[in-house]
Structure 1
Amino acid sequence: MMIAGLFLLLSLFPVHPPCTLSYKPEVQHCDSIRPFVPIDHARPDTVDITFLGDVMMHEAQIKSAYRDGGYDFSGYFDNIGGLVSGSDLTVANMEFPVGVEPYTGYPCFSAPYGILEEAASQGIDIMLSANNHICDKGAKGIKSTLDSFRKLNAEYGTLNTGVYRDWETQEKAYPLIIEKNGIRIALLNFTYGTNGIPVPAPYRVNGTDTLELKAALERAASDSADIIIALPHWGTEYSPVHDRHQERLASWLMENGADAIIGTHPHTPQDCSLIDGKPVIYSLGNYISNMSLKGTQIGLAATVRIVRRHGHEAAIKSVSLEYLWSSRAGFKEKGFTTVIIDEMEGRRDEWLNAHDYDRMMSARKKAEKTEEDILLKL
């Protein structure tokens, strides 16, 4: 059950009376006659995009997935299948470079290709790479990551954004613009930094420089994007509330053309707000990880509904949130998994370790105390 009321109730589109045309009919001779299909003016074009938080790859996750010389990440997305299948597009932040052996967890990540394959096979359409860990394995890691995404795109059609082979590629591909159901959506994924590791030339990673962001926003507008969604990797880790730097940049983004902001990085959900009537979700928190600190196992999935009625511009109609729980290996199941909390209520007997279920429901109950504030803000 989605969090009731987390819908941005925007003004209803006006209904105009039909106009009547006077004309003199002509007889036309046709070899074949096609049936006339009238335009359904009441039926809007709609796109639902679901955003997931940080997909982490800690050492315990890598070890747990190891099988006979390979890696099996099944279970990572199995329990959110309904959420993914109910959306037109699903986006996730992949917080690691890919393919550099030996595979390692914190503080310098490198993940097997199998995690990308599992995500793509389970319906993750777009994967984000502009985050503070993308340079953990240097030039070798970025090259391997880009090669992996090229392979993934060929096999599954999955898209990637945030990191590029060179400046020219970045100019052409940033922002990522996708068209779905006749609506063009621009996604701007960028990071506050790369943990002090310089981005090795000639590679490029989207950052928070406002000149660079301004150029990307202008490219989105010139490329006829109907909706622009900013996806910053920012904020203070483990803080449940946003900081002044996030707020300042959020205001700037909205002033310069963004229609919504959905952030990652703090590893815990943060508050939500409206800026000039436009939604800001400062942090979704983790999607899956080996973390167990307070706030790091409960996360959010945000589904943005974009609607365009006939004769009107596209607009964000609603933002709905689901609470997720990242369950470590040996707790809900043998391996790591993430579940939709509200779907698990009353199913304690399904847990291998019921203590994890109790912690999940306790975290959900505490979240309800702040839910009213979120509802008021959105």
Structure 2
Amino acid sequence: MSLRIGFTGDVMLGRLVDDRQRDRSVDAVWGNTLERLRGLDGLVINLECVLSTRGRKWTRTRRPFHFRADPDWAVPALERAGVDACALANNHVLDYEEVALRDTLAALDEAGIARSGAGETIDEALEPAAFSVGDSNGGLDVAVVSFTDNTPEYAADEESPGTARVEFDVDDTTMRRRVRKAFERARETEPDLLVASLHWGPNMVTEPPASFRAVGRWLAEEGVDIVHGHSAHVFQGIEVHDGTPIIYDAGDFVDDYAVDDERRNDRSFLFVLAVGPDGRPTDLRLHPTEIDGCAVHVASPDAAAWARDRMRDLSEPFGTAFDRDGEALVLSLGDDESNDGEI
């Protein structure tokens, strides 16, 4: 029997989302997707905010946006959705300076939600988020490593807290060394599934640059089972290399952002990876979603059709073809020879 691991784009619980949640149920932020989220065997998100009521806005460099959510509701909301791991390597973990980052780390640890990509030092930021799903008769051990190329001033070092930051360039020896170090630590947990969760590139860009495609392929060749990209606020195409699905950008899952009428940053998918009894991914299902009222919802028929067509168009240059199952797109992962486009 297959196990199903879900992946989302950015989960931003601050600002207006935080305001709305003070007057509605903990579950409300997940709209009518909650049952589907809770039905998964595992769930990995990019947490695009800090969980704290403390700290002051970062002003050491220009930062136009600052995202912070009250952990009194945000942590229970993550728990209710069944979130197993949060990628924290992004451009918002120090929005309210070090105290709020420390509160975030502590809140996730207390809730038993694994985390990766940020920490008190670069050494801690390189530690994987490790969790297990299923049972002793058919369980799966998962390890998630997380990196970003955003916001150099938020990078952790040997003595200061922050993110696991790299430049995403296969010719960059520092990147290769740092990523391989994180992989070594992840493999010490003996995972069945190795995930690379990457917050890379600028906002509102609909296609990955050639450098990201090269890094995605390199990660597949290094043994990553799925690349979970995010940062652009709009979803990008999917490529398959050596059997590894590369989600170049998962878009946004929940937030309060203004909507671009053409690129539709309010529409994306819940990406669900099926993993067989032998520990090998068998397919990736894309369930259309849309954001409304500072909550995520199952996409309306029109929005779902738009998202499916858009994903097909964006993925076609990579040689990626999808089947259809109800409202979802399905990508089979048994043989990727036909899914290997040119850089």
**TM range, smaller chain:** 0.7 to 0.9
1:278 aligns with 244
2:150 to 171, 190, 193: 193
Distance 1:59 1:371 in 2: 31
- For residues 130-169 of structure 1, the aligned pairs below 5 Å read 130-153=89-112, 158-166=113-121, 169=124
Q: Structure 1 residues 57-66 or 123-132, which shifts more?
A: 57-66
- In the TM superposition, what is the alpha-carbon distance from 1:190 to its structure 2 partner? 1.6
Are 1:135 and 1:199, in contact at CA under 8 Å, matched by a contact in 2? no
- In the TM superposition, what is the alpha-carbon distance from 1:263 to its structure 2 partner? 0.8
1:100 aligns with 53
1:47 aligns with 3
1:375 to 321, 332, 335: 321
- In the TM superposition, what is the alpha-carbon distance from 1:184 to its structure 2 partner? 2.3
2:77 aligns with 118
1:224 aligns with 190
Are 1:234 and 1:263, in contact at CA under 8 Å, matched by a contact in 2? yes
1:343-376 Cα deviation digits (max 9, x unpaired): x43xxxxxxxxxxxx6x36744753762883426
| Same amino acid, percent of matched pairs | 18
Whichever residue aligns with residue 143 of structure 2, its letter is: A
Q: How many residues align?
A: 299
Are 2:194 and 2:224, in contact at CA under 8 Å, matched by a contact in 1? yes
1:248 aligns with 214
Change (3 A) 1:248 1:361: closer
1:217-247 Cα deviation digits (max 9, x unpaired): 1233344222211111112311121112311
- Matched residue of 1:76: which SS? helix
- In the TM superposition, what is the alpha-carbon distance from 1:186 to its structure 2 partner? 1.8
Unaligned runs of 5+ in 2: 58-62, 167-174, 323-338
Are 2:85 and 2:131, in contact at CA under 8 Å, matched by a contact in 1? no
- In the TM superposition, what is the alpha-carbon distance from 1:193 to its structure 2 partner? 2.8
Are 2:142 and 2:192, in contact at CA under 8 Å, matched by a contact in 1? yes
- In the TM superposition, what is the alpha-carbon distance from 1:72 to its structure 2 partner? 5.3
2:281 aligns with 316
- In the TM superposition, what is the alpha-carbon distance from 1:196 to its structure 2 partner? 3.2
Distance 1:198 1:82 in 2: 36
- Matched residue of 1:263: which SS? strand
Change (3 A) 1:106 1:59: farther
Change (3 A) 1:206 1:365: closer
1:11 aligns with none
- In the TM superposition, what is the alpha-carbon distance from 1:115 to its structure 2 partner? 1.9
1:95-133 Cα deviation digits (max 9, x unpaired): 011213489896122221122321212322222211111
1:312-347 Cα deviation digits (max 9, x unpaired): xx21111111111011x3xxxxxx221122xx43xx
Alignment pair present for 1:301 and 2:247: no
Unaligned runs of 5+ in 1: 1-43, 330-335, 346-357
1:60 to 16, 19, 24: 16
1:134-181 Cα deviation digits (max 9, x unpaired): 12122112112112223323xxxx32222223455456xx22232333
Distance 1:159 1:97 in 2: 15
Mark the structure with the bigger radius of gyration.
1
Are 1:99 and 1:141, in contact at CA under 8 Å, matched by a contact in 2? yes
Change (3 A) 1:73 1:245: farther
Whichever residue aligns with residue 68 of structure 2, its letter is: S
- Matched residue of 1:151: which SS? helix
What is the RMSD of the two structures over their aligned residues, measured on CA atoms?
2.8
Change (3 A) 1:256 1:363: same
Are 1:138 and 1:199, in contact at CA under 8 Å, matched by a contact in 2? no
- Matched residue of 2:50: which SS? coil
- Matched residue of 1:196: which SS? helix
Distance 1:249 1:97 in 2: 28
Distance 1:248 1:301 in 2: 25
1:76 aligns with 29
Whichever residue aligns with residue 285 of structure 1, its letter is: G
Change (3 A) 1:130 1:368: closer
Change (3 A) 1:195 1:61: farther
Asked which structure has the greater RCO (Cα within 8 Å, sep 6+), the reply is: 1
Are 2:155 and 2:164, in contact at CA under 8 Å, matched by a contact in 1? no
Whichever residue aligns with residue 291 of structure 2, its letter is: S
